[in-house]
Amino acid sequence: MLLVNTIRDNFETVLEGLQKRNFPHAEAVLHQVLEIDKNRRDTQAQRDGLQAESNSISKEIGMLMRDGKKEQAEKIKTRTTEIKEQIKTLEEAYSTYEEDLKQLLYSIPNVPHYSVPKGKSAEDNEVVLSHGTIPELPDDKLPHWELIKKYDIIDFELGVKITGAGFPVYKGRGARLQRALVNFFLDEAIKAGYTEVQPPILVNEDSGYGTGQLPDKEGQMYEATADKLYLIPTAEVPITNMYRDVILNELEFPIKNVGYTPCFRREAGSWGAHVRGLNRLHQFDKVEIVQIAHPENSYDALEEMSAYIQGLLQKLELPYRVLRLCGGDMGFTSALTYDMEVFSAAQERWLEVSSVSNFESYQANRLKLRYREEDKKTQLAHTLNGSALALPRIVAAILENNQTEEGIKMPKVLIPYLGFDVI
């Protein structure tokens, strides 16, 4: 959530950033924020003025009573009654302005970093780098949804029977591949200095608002309506919310956590060949890295996280590229996002497998996540997160890119976790 002071003091910069995002009616919305804030502050000033007057009258009444001037004291008491009613009316107005301002700020996305390119869709994203060689497969190559049937390692029909479309059942070596990837990703993160946590996969409404899933993505999350809880779309939500309403010491930076969770996304409105098989699921496994950083160091942390995720892709021997997302394709809360895509040789297309983002203070303001420098006031921290990695499309690329006449060869780095080298 943007700070009102930021909008007031840097109006043109904020406006330019929101226009880069193609945020509709940006200027009018920002002016509305400032108008509501002015009304709120004016109301507070009136209330404070009346409270000061009330305090002064109370002292005067006390002096009159001590001097035995009871009749005079009773006369001015009527003014205190009037003031109390006026203060009550102003407090109600202030609360209304405060709530209206909060809801309006919730509707405004983060301001992009200056390096974010302009654009409206994924076609306008900027390729930062490419790595690896795209494998050449024979003409009879199979996409992963055919390979999983051939080797009986993932069952989509059984998932439909149990739950519905988008909830596959992993079997045999398919299940072992899932477990191997999760353990490999967790072990690598721990080696890189991340502390493993195992968070809840249901979160409350405050947690959803804290990281920005609410109200922006309410329709995309599965909800346990009786308890007003949400199944997490990513481990970012519970892990980052561990620091909600926390004041850190600056010496604690950087804070680095990693967690594995299943993730749940309704993906409403998604259909077509591009979401076939493992390309888009309602339930999937993911390992997430999260950092809480000092504002001066958060972009160094972002580059470090990007390099770390690229290192995982290199160890899995998957060709990949890194994109800097344009303003029109960025997530609501992000200031700068890199996407990592692997090449799926049978589908002959790039598949997104990770996003790593710096949210600057946008989430921290919602979370009331602050840090204190020595002998100074508290300030908002910066939050970052990245997929390291999401499993479905990684599995799709491993299966497709490594298919041979003898079977599907496993990446060397996974063999100690798997106990086999081919499916």
Domain CATH for 373: 3.30.930.10
Residue 3: the pLDDT is: 96
Quickly tell me which residue has 């003898």 as its tokens: 406
What does the pLDDT look like over 85-108, one tens digit per residue?
Answer: 999 999 999 999 999 999 999 999
Feature table: binding site = 234, 265-267, 288, 352-355, 385
Residue from 25, 33, 27 nearest 2 by CA: 33
Residue 116 lies in a domain: no
Do residues 168 and 39 both lie within one domain? no
Do residues 298 and 396 both lie within one domain? yes
Residue 295 DSSP code? G
Do residues 201 and 166 both lie within one domain? yes
Residue 111 lies in a domain: no
Residue 46 lies in a domain: yes
Q: For residue 117, is the peptide bond before it cis, meaning its omega torsion is within 30 degrees of 0? A: no
Residue 421: the pLDDT is: 97
Feature table: binding site for ATP = 265-267, 352-355
Is residue 113's pLDDT more than 60? yes
Do residues 139 and 8 both lie within one domain? no
| Structural domain boundaries, residue 285 | 122-418
What does the pLDDT look like over 336-359, one tens digit per residue?
Answer: 999 999 999 999 999 999 999 999
Do residues 141 and 40 both lie within one domain? no
Do residues 172 and 298 both lie within one domain? yes
Q: What is the CATH number of the domain that holds 100?
A: 1.10.287.40
Stretch 215-237: mean pLDDT: 93
The whole-angstrom separation of Cα 408 and Cα 264 is 28
Confidence of residue 58 (pLDDT cuts 50, 70, 90): confident
Residue 397: the pLDDT is: 98
Residue 386: the pLDDT is: 98
What does the pLDDT look like over 275-331, one tens digit per residue?
Answer: 789 999 999 999 999 999 999 999 999 999 999 999 999 999 999 999 999 999 999
Is residue 269's pLDDT more than 60? no
Residue from 301, 321, 328 nearest 385 by CA: 301
Q: Which of 66-80, 156-170, 188-202, 224-238 has the lowest mean pLDDT?
A: 66-80
Residue 300 lies in a domain: yes
Do residues 180 and 299 both lie within one domain? yes
Give the end of a domain, one of 76, 106, 136.
106
Share of the chain above pLDDT 70, in %: 98
pTM: 0.92
Feature table: binding site for L-serine = 234, 265, 288, 385
Residue 111 DSSP code? P
**Helices marked H in 168-271:** 173-191, 205-211, 236-241
Do residues 148 and 73 both lie within one domain? no
